Amino acid sequence: MLRFIARRLLETIPVLLIIITATFFMIRFVPGGPFTAEKAVTPEILRNLEAHYGLNKPLHRQYLDYLGSLLHGDLGPSFKYPNRTVNEIIAEKLPTSLELGLISLLVALALGLTLGILAAVRRNTWLDYLCSTVAMVGICVPTFVLGPLLVLLFAIHFGWVNASGWYSPVDRVLPCLTLGCVYAAYIARLTRGGMLEVLSQDYIRTARAKGASEARVIFRHALRGGLLPVVSFLGPAIAGILTGSFVIETIFQIPGLGREFVNSAFNRDYTLVLGTVILYATLIIGLNLVVDVAQVWLNPRLKFE
């Protein structure tokens, strides 16, 4: 297993390097820079600005400089926020996004597993159809429709919660519910499918024949195998939740990194774009590795290849 992890980690280095290189050159080769949008900067000031941020050096020099400082964990100064570094901005905004993502993932797992197990255990009853329909609604109503609708209903109509902001615990409810819903729906479908397959296996019959209670059969014997499809879905789900937060943070005006990333792309804040891309890529690749390891660990039939 250690060898597997070590090999995957080694593989990550060239992948990250390609991502950094591709992003770096893509945003540089396109016309327009961080200072062109601002109100008529005189050529002299522009030159000074560029000299200050090292933008007047040859491109390959800038690239190597960037990689060099990256090795020290330094993501450089932001171009749009004077006197702030990308590291500071990330340190300030990332916790919010992580909190949003983590709660949403928990919501998705709690809702999805409950619905999926219920649907599988009561197969082909009204409960199954209800759960499946709810799951389909979750898949087909996108976050950017569901979010505003929930706001319309619970914030504007009933006035139970705030329409936007990220201050009190109550403010977490709508954003996390919105973001978690889609993945809850997928998890419910996968759980149902996985559980149905497992429940028809011989060892479940054996467990029943031994006189194990229904709850024990389901939670002790069936769940572990039934959850395998869910575990392999967690990789894409985590990536989806991280990028899905861009929209959620925009809808609910949450001061997180997702919104910052989209703004930085619009603003051509080169270093901030690069920094967030590297961070997100590392997070997603790393979490995928964790999921892969968990998958093999849960299912002895798979091997670390």
- Assess 290 for contact with another protein (CB under 8 A): no
Which of positions 191-210 make contact with another protein (CB under 8 A)? 192-193
- Assess 295 for contact with another protein (CB under 8 A): no
Collapsed DSSP state (helix, strand, coil) of residue 77: strand
261, 246 Cβ separation under 8 angstroms? yes
- Assess 239 for contact with another protein (CB under 8 A): yes
- Assess 266 for contact with another protein (CB under 8 A): yes
Cα–Cα distance, 65 to 78 (Å, whole number): 15
Tokens of 290: 């964790």
What 8-state DSSP symbol labels residue 170?
G
* Number of other residues whose CB lies within 10 A of the CB of residue 156: 10
- Assess 101 for contact with another protein (CB under 8 A): no
Which residues, 6+ apart, have CB-to-CB distance to 87 below 8 Å?
73, 74, 75, 275
- Assess 180 for contact with another protein (CB under 8 A): no
- Assess 56 for contact with another protein (CB under 8 A): no
Collapsed DSSP state (helix, strand, coil) of residue 205: helix
- Phi/psi of residue 180, nearest 5 degrees: -75, -25
# binding residues, another protein (CB under 8 A): 47
- Assess 19 for contact with another protein (CB under 8 A): yes
Q: Which stretch binds another protein (CB under 8 A): 38-46, 216-224, 261-269, 293-301?
A: 261-269
- Assess 161 for contact with another protein (CB under 8 A): no
Cα–Cα distance, 84 to 155 (Å, whole number): 35
15, 289 Cβ separation under 8 angstroms? no
Q: State in Å, rounded, how far the first CA of the chain is from the last one.
A: 9
User: Contact with another protein (CB under 8 A): which of 49, 130, 281, 294?
Assistant: 281
Of residues 5 and 19, the one with the C-beta less far from another protein: 19
- Assess 280 for contact with another protein (CB under 8 A): yes
Q: Which region, left, alpha or beta, applies to residue 124 given φ > 0 means left and ψ of -120 to 50 means alpha?
A: left
- Assess 151 for contact with another protein (CB under 8 A): yes
Of residues 174 and 273, the one with the C-beta less far from another protein: 273
Residues that bind another protein (CB under 8 A): 11, 15, 19, 23, 26-27, 30-32, 136, 139-142, 144-145, 147-149, 151-152, 156, 189-190, 192-193, 229, 235-236, 239, 242-243, 246-247, 250-251, 261-262, 265-266, 273, 277, 280-281, 284-285, 288
